[in-house]
Amino acid sequence: MTDTRPLLLEVEDLKTYFYLDEGVVRAVDGVSFTIRRGQTVGVVGESGCGKSITARSIMQIVRPPGRIVSGSIRFHRAPPSNGNPGEVIEITKLDPMGKPMRMIRGGEISMVFQEPMTSLSPVHTVGDQIMEAIMLHQSVSKEEARRLAIHMFSKVGMQQPARTVDRYPHQLSGGMRQRAMIAMALSCTPSLLIADEPTTALDVTTEAQILQLMRDLQRELGMAIMFITHNLGVVAQMTEVVMVMYMGRIVETATVDDLFYAPKHPYTRLLLKAIPKLGSKAMGTATRLESIKGTVPHPYAIPRGCPFHPRCGDMIPGVCDAVEPPVVNVSDTQTVRCHLYQSAPSRDVIPLTPQSAAKVEH
Ligand code: SF4
């Protein structure tokens, strides 16, 4: 079914490269996707696949020697109440340190990072830090900012919020620090929250609490969430649409149901096979979980053709190692970048060879 919610973010052919002495690392290499208002989009893939750099490019916080080399990131600002259309801002054209970008960053697009200790200042109280963010984006007095900070802390489930605002990060537990980060990110009610592995450093109980908190706040505030994770269990719980990344490219985009019940890309299939399932023999000692053979290629030496071909059991010699696969729409809601598929007038999937057809079938 076509999603009719208004567009919030359009990323088109984004390329973010790192220029190092050893060579050029194409961390994000031609990524295109959209996020709609209120939508939850998951981004999955192994470490180093370009998930976080895509997010950092949207926030314009890519550190040198990395930089956006081409492509477009269009942010659709909410329409004003006077009936005029909303403004569309080309983020890549803004000065990363200029006022317009600083107003978007933290105001309309916020980010929660994996490890709050690296993002929170150790020498300021968490209250001071959230008040600074509030006063940067809203014209309120210090007293009002403190009141708003306490309100946000109670919203994210902080115990004794009026006392916690005066604590330093090292005086809080890991879960409480992550709640403080979420409170700071949501203090200006952003349209888009980018959550980069927000629960990876937490134990499973705290992870479940934080995920529930994010779902509740999303329902209440109506924001979109871009959820970056390597955990497909979290993806299943949290997201509507999922993008699978490999070597800086999106190799499959699908609804969460299609991704789990009808995955197309061989890499996606292998990622799913690597998840332990309750009740399966793999949970015991009888069988091992499947792993993806080989390792992620060296970033300075991306293989020719399909970058996944050295690890792919479906590789077609002479095709996959020679020609980069194009993006194919296999349905209105699913795209894949793989030579096993072709776009067809009927939009049916046409495997290229009989051998491939046999491999594609479960
Ligand atoms: Fe495997 Fe070829 Fe598809 Fe790449 S294009 S994932 S090598 S079948």
What SS3 class is residue 52?
A: helix
Instruction: Name, in order, each residue with C-beta under 8 angstroms of 174's C-beta and a sequence gap of 6 or more.
Output: 116, 201, 202, 203, 206
Predicted local confidence at residue 143, as pLDDT: 92
Higher pLDDT, 264 or 286: 264
Ligand 1 centroid–CA 259 distance in Å is 17
Pairing of strands 40-44, 224-228: parallel
Ligand 1 centroid–CA 263 distance in Å is 14
As a whole number, mean pLDDT of residues 260-285 equals: 77
Ligand 1 centroid–CA 118 distance in Å is 38
Residue 361: pLDDT above 50?
Answer: no
Q: Which residues pair with 67 in a beta bridge?
A: 17
Predicted local confidence at residue 301, as pLDDT: 81
- Residue 252 beta carbon below 6 angstroms from any ligand 1 atom: no
Predicted local confidence at residue 186, as pLDDT: 84
Residue 247: pLDDT above 80?
Answer: yes
Predicted local confidence at residue 279, as pLDDT: 59
Residue 240: pLDDT above 60?
Answer: yes
- Residue 316 beta carbon below 6 angstroms from any ligand 1 atom: yes
3-state SS record for 7-26: EEEEEEEEEEEEEECCEEEE
Ligand 1 centroid–CA 305 distance in Å is 9
Say if residue 170 is exposed, middle or buried (CB neighbours under 10 Å; 0-12, 13-18, 19+): exposed
Predicted local confidence at residue 354, as pLDDT: 41
Predicted local confidence at residue 289, as pLDDT: 62
Q: In ligand 1, which atom is closest to the CA atom of 339? A: 5
Predicted local confidence at residue 60, as pLDDT: 94
Q: How confident is the model at residue 156 (pLDDT cuts 50, 70, 90)?
A: confident
pTM of the model: 0.85
Residue 335: pLDDT above 50?
Answer: yes
Ligand 1 centroid–CA 361 distance in Å is 15
Higher pLDDT, 244 or 159: 244
Residue 280: pLDDT above 60?
Answer: no
Residue 199: pLDDT above 70?
Answer: yes
Residue 4: pLDDT above 50?
Answer: yes
- Residue 266 beta carbon below 6 angstroms from any ligand 1 atom: yes
Ligand 1 centroid–CA 338 distance in Å is 5
Overall size of the chain counted in residues: 362
Q: How confident is the model at residue 179 (pLDDT cuts 50, 70, 90)?
A: confident
Pocket test for ligand 1, best of 269, 293, 306, 342 (most atoms within 8 A of CB): 306
Predicted local confidence at residue 142, as pLDDT: 92
Ligand 1 centroid–CA 92 distance in Å is 32
Per-residue pLDDT tens over the stretch 64-78: 999 999 999 999 998
Pocket test for ligand 1, best of 269, 302, 340, 349 (most atoms within 8 A of CB): 340
- Residue 264 beta carbon below 6 angstroms from any ligand 1 atom: no
Residue 40: pLDDT above 70?
Answer: yes
